[in-house]
Structure 1
Amino acid sequence: MHITLVDDSIPFDGYTASSRPLGGAEKGFAALAGALARRGHTVSVFNRCRWSMFIEGAQWETFEGKKPLLTDMLIALRKPELLGFVRQAKRRVLWHTGPGRMLAKKATREILADLKPTILLCSAVQAEGWRADGLKVALLPPALKSDYLANFDEAASDQPPYAMVTTHPAHGLSWLVNLWVNHIHPAAPDAELRIYSMSLAKMAEGGGVEPGLEDLAEKILAARGDGVIVTRPQGDAMMAAAYRQAAVHLYPGHPDDGTAFTLMESQACGVPAVLRPLGAAPDRVANGSSAYVAPDDDAFANLTALLLNNAETRANLGAEARALYQGRTWDAAAEKLEGLLA
């Protein structure tokens, strides 16, 4: 089968996530291309990569490269406008990573009604409050790269335990810093909170503050004495190592987060989590076994302190988290996708 994948977002390719941080949707897009090629398909990828290259069996082309005249399946990432990228496509798929309501816009409905694609979702929560209006809908939970699935334990560290947070600055980070300073850190005074954020790292390094983040930046700088540290996200191998050394992944969540990519990655690395019951996050964990879904602020703070202070508890939850994601490879996801779209 000839499969064409198309994205029109940022410059990246199948090697990018190995050397620098990349969003979960982009990583999944790149990994799925290689996985489909390994299953015997002829795969063409068009995006904002800088030049044509052959990666993991898939042919990557620049967005302006020569398009195929015909493809058996076109998979467009996020943008409905890309569904017409190849004029003659036997099947069209819109891989949607946002809230379902984004597909209810008039211009989007017209495109979907005309081209009748299959809507591929990452979680059931995306479909809440949205009507498919006769379109076929399929669910393909994201998978993980091998960096996060490697089954080994980091050497014991004599450093203070740390919690890590990877959330978007607008998705509850201000709330979490307040909770850390006022409740969590007093109960675990040796612990650190490491915030992995590119935009905030630039601020911490003296590079200025992005518009809209001024109050949050000031709050984080004021919390340095409470163990709050800002650091840059890294490529997959280094992020996997950071996860494995962490005591807990704190995930504030957001109602519109229908993917929870980094929560999946940390769980696969064997890191317990504490999260709020928002978006897709609760579906990415086994509550009470691999993580704790906290019903309120007090529970969130108490459970975080428990994991920071109790090595046995976090080891038990970490083992369950790792087991939960064994086998969740992109090769397995590609096989499932074939069945969903058959």
Structure 2
Amino acid sequence: MRITLIDDSIPFDGSTPRKRSIGGAEKAFVGLSEAFSAKGYEVTAVNRCESYFELNGVRWLPFDAPRPPDCEILIAFRRPTLLQEIDDVDQRFLWLWGPLSFLNKAKNQVLLDRYMPTLIYLGETQRRSWKPNRIYQEAIIVPGVVDAYLDFESDQSEPPPVAITTTHPRHAMQEILRLWVDEIRPNNDHAQLHIYSTSLSRWRDTGEIGDDFDDLIPMVLKSEKCGVFIKSPMPDSIMANVYGAAKLHLYPAIKMEMYGNTLAESQATGLPALVRTTDRSVGAIAERVCDGQSGYIAPDDPAFVNLVAEILAESSGIYRSLHKDALALQRQRGWQVVATEFETLWS
């Protein structure tokens, strides 16, 4: 069977996640393409890659190149406009990512009605976030986690009191830093907070930062004396070791987030998660963390501060319990599982 996946976003290809950090959506596109190839399908990935080449059985084709002449399954990634890129196919899928309000635009409604694709949602939160005007075939298929995280071997020793964050600094970073400086660090002078951020790393190295970070930078500068370090996101093979060497993943609840890929990855290495909420609304993050087992969803800031202190404490029984359950519960979903779930939709 011949499968074509098509994306029209940024330049990347199958080699990119091995070289540098990329977004969860792009990583998913690579992961599913390679999983289909491993199952014996003839797979073509069409996107903004620079030139044609093959890697791990997947043929990468630049977006401006002629389309594959024979295609039985078309998986359009994110954009309904991509459903019309290949005419003669047996079945069309629209693999959705992120918030879905854009589907209400008239041009997208026309395309959905014309091609009647099977809609693939990331989870129940995303599915409930949009009400279509008609009935479509649909399925929830949760993304997979790459092998670097699933195969990470923990040495079972207790890590030092290091917490990490991986979300964009615009998402409550200032509030997390305030809690760290004022309430968390004063009670544990060995505790460290490592912020993995491309934008803050660029600011650290070049001094360049967007205007919307004006309020954040003074807090970042203040926090440097309180065990806070800016880190550059790295490829998966390195980030797996980063997660394995930390003790806690701090994560703000983000209203419009529909998956949370770095949280899924860190959970797979056994890293406990602590989610900060302000209104008890956690959205899709509740689908990533097993509350009370692989991490906690703190109902308010006092609970958040107390849990950070308890988990980062030396010889923390809470850490050991959360770590054990994360390894048991959160590392079964590789991309081969995802590909198998797609197969059931056309078999």
Q: Shorter chain as normaliser: what TM range?
A: over 0.9
Paired AA for residue 228 in structure 2: V
* 1:320 aligned residue: 325
| Alpha-carbon distance between aligned partners in 2 of 1:89 and 1:188, rounded to the nearest angstrom | 60
Paired AA for residue 285 in structure 2: A
- String of CA shifts for 1:95-154, please: whole Å, max 9, x gaps: 111123232222222221121111111111112242132112211111111100114125
| Alpha-carbon distance between aligned partners in 2 of 1:107 and 1:17, rounded to the nearest angstrom | 33
* 1:24 aligned residue: 24
* 1:91 aligned residue: 91
Matches for 1:293-332 after TM superposition, within 5 Å: 293-310=297-314, 311-332=316-337
SS of residue in 1 equivalent to 2:54? strand
Q: Greater CA deviation, 308-317 or 140-149?
A: 308-317
1:156 CA displacement = 4.8
When residues 336 and 129 of structure 1 are mapped into structure 2, their CA distance, relative to the original with a 3 A threshold, is closer
| Alpha-carbon distance between aligned partners in 1 of 2:302 and 2:215, rounded to the nearest angstrom | 24
| Alpha-carbon distance between aligned partners in 2 of 1:334 and 1:108, rounded to the nearest angstrom | 26
Matches for 1:1-342 after TM superposition, within 5 Å: 1-132=1-132, 133-154=134-155, 156=157, 160-275=160-275, 276=277, 277-310=281-314, 311-342=316-347
When residues 289 and 39 of structure 1 are mapped into structure 2, their CA distance, relative to the original with a 3 A threshold, is same
Paired AA for residue 104 in structure 1: N
Paired AA for residue 15 in structure 1: S
SS of residue in 1 equivalent to 2:72? strand
| Alpha-carbon distance between aligned partners in 2 of 1:325 and 1:334, rounded to the nearest angstrom | 18
Are 2:152 and 2:241, in contact at CA under 8 Å, matched by a contact in 1?
no
- String of CA shifts for 1:71-108, please: whole Å, max 9, x gaps: 21111111221111112222111111112323222222
Are 2:144 and 2:333, in contact at CA under 8 Å, matched by a contact in 1?
yes
SS of residue in 2 equivalent to 1:340? coil
| Alpha-carbon distance between aligned partners in 1 of 2:286 and 2:128, rounded to the nearest angstrom | 15
Are 2:267 and 2:331, in contact at CA under 8 Å, matched by a contact in 1?
no
When residues 129 and 45 of structure 1 are mapped into structure 2, their CA distance, relative to the original with a 3 A threshold, is closer
SS of residue in 2 equivalent to 1:92? strand
1:206 CA displacement = 3.1
Q: Greater CA deviation, 332-341 or 19-28?
A: 332-341
- String of CA shifts for 1:28-58, please: whole Å, max 9, x gaps: 1101111111112111111111211111111
Are 2:291 and 2:297, in contact at CA under 8 Å, matched by a contact in 1?
yes
| Alpha-carbon distance between aligned partners in 1 of 2:102 and 2:182, rounded to the nearest angstrom | 37
Gaps of 5+ in 2: none
SS of residue in 1 equivalent to 2:110? helix
| C-alpha RMSD over aligned residues | 1.7
Are 1:203 and 1:217, in contact at CA under 8 Å, matched by a contact in 2?
no
> TM (normalized to structure 2)?
0.94
| Alpha-carbon distance between aligned partners in 2 of 1:219 and 1:52, rounded to the nearest angstrom | 46
SS of residue in 2 equivalent to 1:26? helix
| Alpha-carbon distance between aligned partners in 2 of 1:15 and 1:312, rounded to the nearest angstrom | 40
- String of CA shifts for 1:163-186, please: whole Å, max 9, x gaps: 000011222222211222222222
Gaps of 5+ in 1: none
Are 1:255 and 1:278, in contact at CA under 8 Å, matched by a contact in 2?
yes
Identical aligned residues as a percent: 37
| Alpha-carbon distance between aligned partners in 1 of 2:345 and 2:211, rounded to the nearest angstrom | 42
| Alpha-carbon distance between aligned partners in 2 of 1:307 and 1:45, rounded to the nearest angstrom | 43
SS of residue in 2 equivalent to 1:219? helix
Q: Greater CA deviation, 94-103 or 5-14?
A: 94-103
> TM (normalized to structure 1)?
0.95
- String of CA shifts for 1:273-330, please: whole Å, max 9, x gaps: 1013522111112111110011111111111111111433212211211111233110
| Alpha-carbon distance between aligned partners in 2 of 1:40 and 1:88, rounded to the nearest angstrom | 22
SS of residue in 2 equivalent to 1:153? coil
Paired AA for residue 135 in structure 2: G
Question: Size of the alignment, in residue pairs?
Answer: 341
